[in-house]
Amino acid sequence: MEKFGVRRVLMVFLIITLSGGAIFYYFMDKPFMRSVEEYTDLYLERNPSCKYSREEIIEEANRLIEELEKVGIKDPYSGELIHPNTWKRVKNHPAMGTRLTKVKDAKGNVFIDLNGDACWLRHPLANSVSRENKVLYKDSKGKEQFQITYCYRSKEIQAVLHAALRSLPKKNGRRGTPCAKPGRSFHNIGMAFDARNYATVMVYIINGKSGILGGCIGIEEDFVHFSMGEISAKKWSSLGCALKQAEAEATKYGRKAINWVSETVDEAIEGVMFIWDNLPNL
């Protein structure tokens, strides 16, 4: 009886420990949040020539957040406030029923954004990014990975970016501000990411069936922006993105061909040198 009692106590203790860990992970393993002031300081460190002062950015960002708080709908999975117009577009998307997940690179490390924070995306998109990045890493023989700059963005950072980038000169007929207001961006729902090496990324990540598209002018931050469910394949193609992807693919396979020829020539030279060095012994 005494042994049985000890085993029971240990079993209960183990169950409680594991349950507590699972609950902690579920509720606490979430994106790290900063204040408007902190995000403003980080932005100005990277962009000291910004036309707006720290006070002007903070004031405008807070105004945008207050505006969103009046009408925003709370996403039950991320807890973020989403503008009603954006919510209508995404509420029935399958990915919206999944949690935000950390995105890992080919070495198992979590991607880090421009603010030094972990990269989070909706589970299906996070898996796709991690999987295709591994393919790129393998194809490049460990020399290249996705250069991600932003993934999920809170309303605070979205407001700061919009406030800092507003009223930029219009380009290619598009609006002056390349960054949407808080609650209106697919970054705010964890269904978008930006990549510095977009020409390479689009070859690996573009998938019309899954709705992962981007890498062209006409979708938020232009070429660097990739998202899931934001734009239809037909619209994406009409923006000239399909041609751009074809060019990127040609570059990719051309690079592979050049690497293969280079490796073959190197092997041939090594073979000739081996024979030459060993002629006396033949």
Average pLDDT in the 12-38 region?
Answer: 65
Average pLDDT in the 170-185 region?
Answer: 71
Q: What is the pLDDT of residues 125-157, one digit of tens each?
A: 999 999 999 999 999 999 999 999 999 999 999
d(CA 100, CA 120): 6
Classify burial at 112, counting beta carbons within 10 Å of its beta carbon; exposed 0-12, middle 13-18, buried 19 or more.
middle
Which band of pLDDT confidence, cut at 50, 70 and 90, is reported for residue 15? low
CA angle 205, 187, 171 (to 5 degrees): 85
pLDDT value of residue 65:
97
Average pLDDT in the 46-59 region?
Answer: 96
Q: To the nearest whole percent, how much of the chain has pLDDT over 70?
A: 67
pLDDT value of residue 85:
96
70: pLDDT strictly greater than 90: yes
Q: Which residue has the higher pLDDT, 124 or 210?
A: 124
The answer to whether 225 and 192 have CB atoms below 8 angstroms apart is yes
Q: Which residues contact 221 (CB under 8 A, 6 or more apart)?
A: 178, 179, 194
Instruction: Give me the phi and psi of 14, to 5 degrees please.
Output: -65, -45
- Lowest mean pLDDT of 9-23, 96-110, 246-260, name the range: 246-260
The answer to whether 72 and 183 have CB atoms below 8 angstroms apart is yes
163: pLDDT strictly greater than 50: yes
pLDDT value of residue 8:
66
pLDDT value of residue 21:
45
Highest mean pLDDT among 63-67, 172-176, 266-270: 63-67
pTM of the model: 0.76
25: pLDDT strictly greater than 50: no
Mean pLDDT of the chain: 81
Convert 200-211 to b/e letters by CB count within 10 Å (16 or more is b).
bbbbbbbeeeeb
Q: Which residue has the higher pLDDT, 178 or 187?
A: 187
Query: What's the token pair of residue 179?
Result: 């960054």
Q: Which residues contact 194 (CB under 8 A, 6 or more apart)?
A: 148, 149, 150, 187, 221, 224, 225, 226
Query: What's the token pair of residue 10?
Result: 């240990």
Average pLDDT in the 87-116 region?
Answer: 95
Domain assignments of the chain as residue spans, ordered by start: 31-197
Instruction: Give me the phi and psi of 264, to 5 degrees please.
Output: -65, -45
H or E stretch at 26: helix 2-28
Average pLDDT in the 84-90 region?
Answer: 95
- Lowest mean pLDDT of 189-203, 208-222, 226-240, 244-258, name the range: 244-258
Which band of pLDDT confidence, cut at 50, 70 and 90, is reported for residue 199? confident
